[in-house]
């Protein structure tokens, strides 16, 4: 026995050494190859160029806008509204404070107003297009707008780099949270405040001026809750109602696509499972069909379907459904091939026909696999539906791309991201709970 084994072969010790040497080489070669590939990719992606082109100022705008908002205090220097002071959040027309309602850090004064900025800085709008800025540790700046140009009167010495001045424009950036800009057409002061402005109630809502305590107390009055809900739901700045619908559309796409695909591919998978198939032809045809549906991919399906059906949740749902019929068909038929034949045989012995055998002999065996796959894809399709929505123009994906394209409503972007993450995590936990219950049985 041993003679036949070692005959003409290397001694075991040598073979073992050779094996170890090969493994050691592999252990060294794999990381080297990966590193070489990453180095190639760094060149292919032009990493150095990206570092040069990166707009870090964009990043800082974005990060600030995520959690804070600007209030604009504006005085037009010419035209119809010259001399009047307007206070508006983000300079937006539908977020303009009514006279006398402005935040506490803006105090009206004869012919102008006084604006307190963080760090003890005070900006005073004076009559005759004059502006005075007092900065502690620096001094007082006076800016006068005349028809000839803008004149800056600064303390002695060279101008610090937070001041930029020319004949037509003076800009001051005394700190991160505030900015002052004077042009011939208008004088503006910006001040950042933390939070998402007017998230619950807009300025025209009767509930806006109240504190949360007062709002809670008001809830006891009849009709107050409905009115609050109405003002919140139709909020003209955040559009909560529309956002909820969009989020609903996205979940709808995922739900219809996943469940629809499961319902279609369950009967189909019987045709493609080796132990149920009607023959080689049906098996081959259905299997290649799944490969085709999966290979074409959601992206191409989305493009083709949106040509035919136009943008919207139905297009997204059908695109998800077509791709997932491919994945489910494959998974389900594999599950069917792995079942225990004995239960089916037992049913056959009692005289049950094919449908009954499938219902009582097969489905109970594959149900846990099917349900857990469907639930898993349901969760991951909620994410896909966001992406598909961005392409076809439906659901939260559309809102997201729209607000990113405008490049200024970053607080909306944050809102949508938070919403998507919450919904996906909710789907995750619901599907996990159902899966655990199904597998444990009840």
Chain contacts with another protein (rule: CB under 8 A): 34, 37-38, 41, 44-47, 50, 53-56, 58-59, 62, 249, 252-253, 255-256, 259, 291, 294-300, 303-304, 307-315, 317, 383-384, 386-387, 390-391, 394, 397, 400-401, 404, 407, 413, 416-417, 420-421, 424-425, 428
Q: Which is nearer to another protein, 122 or 259 (CB)?
A: 259
Q: Which is nearer to another protein, 126 or 304 (CB)?
A: 304
Q: How far is the CB of 105 from another protein (least distance, A)?
A: 31
Between CA 73 and CA 277 the distance in angstroms is 75
Q: How far is the CB of 268 from another protein (least distance, A)?
A: 18
Q: How far is the CB of 343 from another protein (least distance, A)?
A: 20
Bridge partners for 139 per DSSP: 135
Between CA 257 and CA 351 the distance in angstroms is 37
Between CA 125 and CA 187 the distance in angstroms is 9
CA nearest to 195, candidates 417, 415, 420:
415
Q: How far is the CB of 332 from another protein (least distance, A)?
A: 17
Q: How far is the CB of 407 from another protein (least distance, A)?
A: 6
Between CA 65 and CA 196 the distance in angstroms is 9
What b/e string do you get for 372-384 counting C-beta neighbours within 10 Å, with b at 16 or more? bbbbebbbbbbbb
Q: Which is nearer to another protein, 182 or 318 (CB)?
A: 318
Q: How far is the CB of 148 from another protein (least distance, A)?
A: 40
Positive or negative, the CA dihedral 58, 62, 68, 73 is positive
Residues 6 or more apart whose CB falls under 8 angstroms from that of 102 comprise 87, 108
Q: Which is nearer to another protein, 20 or 82 (CB)?
A: 20
Residue 114's H or E segment, with its range, is strand 112-117
Determine contact, residues 336/276, Cβ cutoff 8 Å: yes
Q: How far is the CB of 260 from another protein (least distance, A)?
A: 8
DSSP-based three-state secondary structure for 127 = coil
Two structure tokens written together for 152: 């800056």
């Amino acid at each position: 026995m041993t003679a036949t084994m070692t005959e003409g072969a290397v001694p075991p010790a040598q073979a073992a050494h050779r094996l170890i040497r090969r493994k050691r080489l592999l252990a060294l070669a794999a990381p080297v190859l990966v590193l070489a590939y990453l180095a190639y990719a760094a060149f292919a992606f032009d990493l150095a160029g990206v570092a040069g082109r990166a707009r870090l100022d964009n990043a800082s705008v974005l990060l600030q806008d995520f959690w804070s908002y600007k209030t604009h205090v504006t005085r037009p220097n010419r035209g119809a509204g010259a001399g009047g002071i307007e206070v508006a959040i983000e300079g937006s027309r539908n977020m303009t404070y009514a006279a006398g309602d402005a935040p506490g850090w803006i105090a009206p004064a004869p012919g102008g107003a006084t604006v307190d900025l963080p760090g003890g800085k005070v900006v005073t709008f004076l009559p005759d297009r004059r502006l005075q800025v007092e900065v502690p540790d620096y001094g007082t700046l006076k800016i006068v707008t005349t028809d000839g140009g803008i004149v800056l009167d600064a303390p002695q010495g060279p101008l610090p780099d937070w001041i930029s001045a020319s004949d037509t424009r003076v800009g001051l950036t005394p700190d991160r949270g505030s900015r002052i800009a004077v042009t011939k057409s208008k004088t503006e002061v910006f001040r950042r405040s933390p939070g998402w402005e007017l998230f619950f109630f807009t300025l025209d809502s009767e509930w806006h001026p109240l504190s949360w305590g007062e709002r809670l107390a008001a809830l006891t009055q009849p009709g107050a809750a409905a009115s609050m809900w109405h003002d919140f739901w139709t909020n003209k700045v955040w559009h909560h109602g529309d956002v909820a619908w969009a989020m609903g559309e996205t979940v709808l796409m995922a739900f219809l696509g996943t469940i629809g695909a499961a319902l279609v591919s369950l009967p189909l998978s019987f045709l493609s499972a080796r132990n149920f198939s009607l023959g080689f032809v049906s098996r081959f045809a259905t299997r290649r069909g799944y490969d085709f549906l999966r290979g074409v991919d959601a992206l191409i399906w989305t493009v083709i379907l949106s040509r035919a059906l136009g943008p919207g949740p139905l297009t997204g749902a059908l695109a998800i459904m077509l791709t997932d019929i491919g994945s489910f068909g494959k998974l389900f038929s594999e599950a069917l091939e792995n079942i225990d034949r004995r239960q089916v045989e037992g049913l056959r012995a009692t005289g049950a026909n094919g449908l009954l055998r499938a219902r009582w002999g097969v489905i109970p065996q594959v149900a846990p696999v099917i349900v857990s796959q469907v639930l898993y894809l349901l969760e991951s399709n909620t994410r896909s539906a966001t992406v598909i929505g961005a392409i076809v123009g439906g659901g939260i994906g559309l809102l997201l791309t729209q607000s990113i394209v405008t490049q200024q409503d970053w607080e909306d972007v944050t809102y949508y991201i938070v919403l998507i993450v919450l919904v996906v995590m909710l789907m995750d936990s619901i599907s996990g709970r159902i899966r655990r219950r199904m597998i444990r049985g009840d």
